[in-house]
Amino acid sequence: MIMDGSESWFDEEAGPLVRPFAMTRGRAPSGRHELNMITLVVAIKPDSDAVTLDRESAEIVRMCQRRPLSIAEIAARLDVLLAVAKVLIGDLIDHDFLIFQDPPPPVETPDMDLLQAVLNGLRDL
């Protein structure tokens, strides 16, 4: 910030605002794929085909060659926002570089009577 009394349109405390916008070309996750942070993705094309991609997208394809990774894991390794990772991964899915696996559906809720019996049994010990 400028401390001489004049205003500045740039705020150093705001952090890296331009980079995520530039990486996704201003797009937000479209919702065309049901991607969430635990969705697993795996590469289906060799990483040699990724030479035409931007750096981050090529890195995602390389990472997913070895084993399936969650979207949260990819975002953390690239040090990008989860929303940015979703946009990049969605693009790679659209261009047949990646496939994704929906996470398993939530398990049924546990039987509360059984849980209460276990708790009562533990208290009696």
pTM assigned to the model: 0.63
Q: Look at residue 63 in the predicted model and tell me its pLDDT.
A: 93
Q: Could you state, in order of their start, the residue ranges of all structural domains in the chain?
A: 12-124
- Band (1; pLDDT cuts 50, 70, 90): very low
Say if residue 27 is exposed, middle or buried (CB neighbours under 10 Å; 0-12, 13-18, 19+): middle
| 3-class state of residue 46 by DSSP | coil
Residue 9, both tokens: 């349109």
Alpha carbon distance 8, 74 (integer Å): 35
At 101 the pLDDT is 87
The pLDDT mean for the chain works out to: 79
Q: Tell me the average pLDDT across 25-53.
A: 77
6 vs 36 pLDDT, higher one: 36
pLDDT tens, residue by residue, 60-112: 999 999 889 999 999 999 888 888 899 889 889 988 999 998 766 767 777 78
Q: What are phi and psi of 19, to 5 degrees?
A: -55, -50
